[in-house]
Structure 1
Amino acid sequence: MLIGKLNIDNPVLLAPMAGYTDIPFRMICRERGAGAVYTEFVSSEGLVRGSEKTNDYLVFVERERPIGMQIFGHDPDAMAESARLIEAQFHPDIIDLNFGCSVKKVVKRNAGSALLKDLPLMQKIASAVVHAVRTPVTAKIRAGWSRQSIVAVAAAKMLENEGICALTVHPRTAVEGFKFPADWKIIAEVKSQLSIPVIGNGDVNSENDAVRMFRETGCDGVMIGRGALADPWIFQKTNELLHTGQCSAQGSILGRIELCQHHLSLEVTYRGEADATTMMKKWYRWYFRGIRNASSYRERLVRSHSLSETQEIIRELKESVCADPA
């Protein structure tokens, strides 16, 4: 898949997710076949103000490439300036415009999916950013603000005309959030109208879902969010299934525990022991899903405040699984 001049070998991408797509998890997904990864989205206003916290979200390591950085905001000038700052400081492979986030604190600022109610302003933002940088600029949209205002095709055509290099479509409305099934027909409709790559997103929880999205919508790529939290191997498995019709068994119970240990070691490397122990607590429910008697280990891990204790509890769980693999 070509995004501008950037060639992405495996068109199965990791979506930007606030609180999750940090350096360690992005590295884990790249190691397991993700064709590109994205940092957590950041506020254009925060970047222009020089917020150190905002900048910290954009730090990455070279072996993560290709990497995208997603910005949100409502002011065309601030969005353009933040894109220039990102390009100058971080040199990402992609700059992505968020027109899809439906979180209240973003929508209240007339950003994210709120812009689906104001396509002229969306157009001004897209034009300003595209003309501000040389980096390929992409965008992510939803189907529309509500079922009464499905604007995906109109927004997509406009964004392509403004020079957007690729478009990700999440086929739910902002009002729906994640409450209803994603309507993949909207992705197919957008794809039929555009010449730039269209990336589908929504309700992809397995490699079979990903392959089905490719086949049912004709999309050029698939972007996976929550499905990757539950199964970081999903990128490699999707690629294998697409090209061979089958995929190797990965993500066994033991494999997930070992990946959890690897994830912890990466967190220690990039955050230090204290922060790593805290940051890992949200991950245990994903790594230990479906493991018999794992709840007691999870509870102990959440209460743990030291790296050595955390490592020991995970070792105990691994030994328990090895002793009783059933």
Structure 2
Amino acid sequence: MKIGEVEFENNVFLAPMAGVTDRAFRELCMEMQCGFAYTEMISAKALFYGNKRTRDMFLASPKEGPIGVQIFGSDPLIMAKACDFFNDNEQIGVVDINMGCPAPKIVKNGDGSALMKNPLLASKIVKEVKKASLKPVTVKMRIGFDFDNINVVDFAKSMEQSGADAITVHGRTSIQMYSGKANWDIICQVKKAVEIPVIGNGDIFAAEDANAIFNKTKCDGIMIGRGAMGNPWIFSQIRQYMEKRSVRYPTPRERVDVCIKHYNKSIYYNGEDRAVKEMRKHIAWYIKGLKNSKEIKDKINYEKYSENVFEILDKYKCLL
């Protein structure tokens, strides 16, 4: 699969997720045969005003290869200005524009999925970013803002006409957030309506789901978000399933081992203090469904030092 001149190892991507897809997690997913990975969504306005923490968010590890950087905002000129940070960066392969985030704090500022209510502004943003960017420009969207305004087919055609090199469609409305069921039928309609690559997103939690969405939508690629949380194996499992090989699932001990590996990567890239805080949610995802997982999660959430967390996890692993 290609977007612009960027060619990917395979067409199963890791979705941009705030507070989740940092370097440590992206690198781990790439090791598990993810085809391409996106940063957390990055505020174009924060970049414009020189926020250092924001700049650090699009640093890539040497093991990742090119990454996709996702920006959000609603000022076309500031969105375009963000490309100054990416154009000469060989680690960045694609600039994605967020028009799908349903978080209230994003939507209330007119950003993210709120742009689906303003197609003219959305079009202007894509045109300005496309003029400024030396990288392919893509757009991630929902099927509409709410059930009374499901406009994704026309919206996608407008984004294509404005210069987008590819689009990703999450099969829910903004109001749905992550509830209900993703509508893959509408993704199929979008695929038929545009010439540029379409990436399907929503409700892909297993290799069988990946096969089903490909068959249903005929999309060019898929993007996995929540299905990868605590489950980076999903990428290799999809590859195994598509190649008609036996799908291998990790044992409980392997789940803890990879959790520890992830934790060490987080310390390396983020530092001890930040890793201890940010890995709490990841640990909960890794051990979800295992015996005594709530008790272990609660103990870890009180710990302030990684060495104590590792001791808890090592002891826990021996009980599995």
**Amino acid of the structure 2 residue aligned with 1:277:** V
Counterpart of 1:290 in structure 2 is: 289
Corresponding position: 1:123 with 2:123 = yes
CA contact (8 A) 2:145 2:173 kept: yes
In structure 1, the partner of 2:96 is 96
Which amino acid in 2 is paired with 1:83?
C
Alignment partners' CA distance in 2, 1:277 and 1:283: 10
C-alpha separation between the residues in 1 aligned to 2:304 and 2:123?
Answer: 48
Q: Greater shift after overlay, 170-179 or 110-119?
A: 170-179
The answer for the alignment partner of 2:171 in structure 1 is: 171
Gaps of 5+ in 2: none
Identity over aligned pairs, percent: 38
Cα distance in 1 between the residues matched to 2:161 and 2:124:
12
Report SS of the residue matched to 2:92. Answer: coil
Mapping of residues 1-326 of structure 1, within 5 Å = 1-89=1-89, 91-244=91-244, 246-321=245-320
Which structure 1 segments of 5+ residues have no match?
Answer: 322-326
- 8 Å CA contact 2:65–2:91 kept in 1: the answer is no
State whether residues 168 and 201 of structure 1, in contact with CA within 8 Å, keep that contact through their aligned partners in structure 2: yes
Assess if the C-alpha contact under 8 Å between 2:230 and 2:282 holds in 1: no
User: Number of matched residues?
Assistant: 320
Letter in 1 for 2:227: G
> In structure 1, what is the Cα distance between the partners aligned to 2:249 and 2:238?
12
* Cα distance, 1:43–1:206 mapped onto 2, change above 3 Å: same
Distance in 1 between residues matched to 2:47 and 2:189, nearest whole Å: 35
Deviation at 1:319, TM superposition (A): 1.0
- Asked if structure 2 preserves the Cα contact closer than 8 Å seen for 1:37 and 1:65, the reply is no
Structure 2 CA distance for partners of 1:66 and 1:91, relative to 1, 3 Å: closer
Displacement of 1:90: 6.3
TM-score by length of 2: 0.97
Distance 1:164 1:277 in 2: 39
Contact 1:15 1:38 in 2 (8 A): yes
- Write out per-residue CA displacement over residues 60-115 of structure 1, whole angstroms, 9 at most, x where no aligned residue: 21321231000011111011001222323565100000011111111111111111
Contact kept, 8 Å, 2:80 with 2:132, in 1: the verdict is yes
Q: Give CA deviations for 1:220-247 in whole Å, capped at 9, x if unaligned.
A: 1110000000421111111221122x43
- For residues 44 and 77 of structure 1, the distance between their equivalents in structure 2, rounded to whole angstroms, comes to 10
Contact 1:39 1:68 in 2 (8 A): yes
Shift in Å at residue 185 of structure 1?
0.4
Answer yes or no: is the 8 Å Cα contact 1:68–1:96 preserved in 2: yes
Specify the code of the residue in structure 1 equivalent to 2:196: I
> Kindly tell me: are residues 86 and 170 of structure 1, through their superposed partners in 2, closer, same or farther at Cα, counting changes over 3 Å?
same
Offset from partner CA, 1:1-39 (integer Å, 9 cap, x none): 111111112111000100111111111100001100011
